[in-house]
Structure 1
């Protein structure tokens, strides 16, 4: 097996090869797809001054069996410390806000996971960096990294930063069984309130129609402005999603943009993508002042999840990571909890010393240290 570092031009032209390798792996079919990662790279790489570190693994027959998507950037902290930081492609941890890329990891054809992981870690070890940031890594990918020997590299310091939770609903059974397993209050909000609304007007769940409803992202952003005081997708994020939707067919995906209308007025929008047998819920927006007795967010998700159950090619409805405005509402939807780990791998001797001081300090002193050092 051999590793080759690909250029940006090669990255731009490898959609078909990437998709073939991804389809024969257990990596996430959306977030690790070429349309998602290349669109992210096109949107943010120049703005953030990122250097592409795209590693491709080939077998003895020159077949592509693995992909390691990374990027690199040199930064100088507020204390003047020069740090070369490696990132997983699709994230810019503590650098700038971008869209969130979840289920991060490497792509390896089934049966090649351990060998691809080991050869990629070996290739990364030969590159120049002080820190390697692994972001939103799911349990299966975390296990691949451990089996490949990440924990055993002499001289590395591994620092756990966050563990976030997401929820994924299995939609292979019957919708009524899932519905009956919900708590009483969740079932009321996600389904039973339909009856209440039907008595007071015309409730309709349908696919978004640009001619009827206008631009979907403008609707989404308008709802978010009223609820959160800011857009769901600012300029760069909006550009990213428009690029993504143009290319989604290249990984076999399709957008599902839906609206809930009441008495002919759009009161809620939902942005989903279906790919690889999974429906991913990326964003939602709704009229928070609609009705005190109705939670439009729950109601719209109830419609979407029911639709996923009715589609026999869809195995899961993934609510992804993130909390609501007031609570972790996703935990109410009777799905499997998925943990996403974000951690640093540090090998620069001076940085390891600084992080050791930081971890040994009391919380107040550690915060002061962080502000002064700029890490």
Structure 2
């Protein structure tokens, strides 16, 4: 069970992006597992496709916040029972393709999909694989820092003294007080770094719904801003849920100081807080890499991998998809 399978995330996503005329919800979420929906479109504008996907994902049609840790069932199903249950889903609906994104590598569900595809002679293809990173926060922050390389420790923690010498440093959570300012600032930083907004109007609608609802499931929004002399210089979009702090997004002021990595320093404060909080056992950076380097791997104590797969029944579509690459 992760943040992305909560009723808050799934319902907010479906209300924001699921109301397309070509989408049809076929299995609702329950707060622990992902919902499923059917998407209809035409391949190359010609051939009709029925695609089965997780709620929160869209293989071809939409760009939305990434929904990770997708799963079909809870931990109560395993082995042969799991395979039977997944077969019932896959045989219970007509489809041309199924595209299941961001399944945890090594999971029983991923293995079950391989077995089912082989049994039914369906084509099985890995569409993508992405590494994710996390910090186990059940020990001491001091020991964690000692485990890092010299340069990583410098960027994450030791250069706090330099930052503090430049003026008063203040950390604040803008939820629920001023989330609008938080997302405006996040967009401002992203426009400078990536030449585009991080959160558009529609995705802002999604995030506000999600954040307001996650508290009903005992989640805690952490819209952290780092201020220097009263000016916001870095933001972290984190949410604590079931003992894990999920780092969803980040942004910081470019060229603040040539010896400071504001984003890394801000992460250092957040990770330290996760170590101090008795109910937190993990700080999850999630999948993806930075613009210039894979900073997550430098700070992580553990890594994992997400696999996105496609299953195809028709011989015709197998040939078309595989020719396309």
Which category of TM-score, normalised to the shorter sequence, fits these structures?
over 0.9
Q: Deviations over 1:320-348 (max 9, x none)?
A: 00111111111000321110001101112
Structure 2 distance, partners of 1:87, 1:223, is: 33
Uncovered stretches (5+) of structure 2, i.e. residues with no partner: none
Measured after TM superposition, the shift of residue 214 of structure 1 is 6.4
3-state DSSP class of the match of 1:343? strand
Measured after TM superposition, the shift of residue 69 of structure 1 is 1.7
Q: Does residue 125 in structure 1 map to residue 91 in structure 2?
A: yes
Aligned partner of 1:202 among 168, 176, 180? 168
Q: What does residue 261 of structure 1 align with? A: 227
* Alignment TM-score, normalising by the size of structure 1: 0.80
* Alignment TM-score, normalising by the size of structure 2: 0.92
Q: What does residue 27 of structure 2 align with? A: 54
Structure 2 distance, partners of 1:200, 1:338, is: 38
Matches for 1:140-151 after TM superposition, within 5 Å: 142-147=107-112, 149-151=115-117
Q: Deviations over 1:179-209 (max 9, x none)?
A: 1111111111110111112223222223237
3-state DSSP class of the match of 1:85? strand
Aligned partner of 1:337 among 284, 303, 317? 303
* Aligned residues: CA RMSD: 2.3
Structure 2 distance, partners of 1:112, 1:225, is: 45
Task: Determine if contact 1:106/1:117 at 8 Å carries over to the other structure.
Answer: no
Structure 2 distance, partners of 1:240, 1:87, is: 19
Q: Deviations over 1:95-134 (max 9, x none)?
A: 22011001111232x3334425522322321311010001
Larger radius of gyration: 1
Q: What does residue 273 of structure 2 align with? A: 307
Measured after TM superposition, the shift of residue 212 of structure 1 is 8.1
Q: Classify 1:125/1:65 alpha carbon distance in 2 versus 1 (closer, same or farther; 3 Å).
A: farther
Structure 1 distance, partners of 2:178, 2:282, is: 30
Q: What does residue 37 of structure 1 align with? A: 10
Q: Classify 1:68/1:211 alpha carbon distance in 2 versus 1 (closer, same or farther; 3 Å).
A: closer
Q: Deviations over 1:29-72 (max 9, x none)?
A: x111111011100000124731101068xxxxxxx998562111
Measured after TM superposition, the shift of residue 173 of structure 1 is 0.4
Q: What does residue 200 of structure 2 align with? A: 234
Task: Determine if contact 1:73/1:85 at 8 Å carries over to the other structure.
Answer: yes
Matches for 1:171-182 after TM superposition, within 5 Å: 171-182=137-148
Q: What does residue 100 of structure 1 align with? A: 66
Task: Determine if contact 2:237/2:250 at 8 Å carries over to the other structure.
Answer: yes
Task: Determine if contact 1:157/1:347 at 8 Å carries over to the other structure.
Answer: yes
Structure 2 distance, partners of 1:125, 1:77, is: 23
Measured after TM superposition, the shift of residue 292 of structure 1 is 1.0
Structure 1 distance, partners of 2:236, 2:33, is: 32
3-state DSSP class of the match of 1:290? coil
Aligned partner of 2:236 among 253, 270, 285? 270
Aligned residues: 323
Structure 1 distance, partners of 2:31, 2:215, is: 22
List, as ranges, runs of 4+ consecutive aligned residues in structure 1 with deviation greater than 6 Å: 209-214
Task: Determine if contact 2:36/2:53 at 8 Å carries over to the other structure.
Answer: yes
Measured after TM superposition, the shift of residue 355 of structure 1 is 3.6
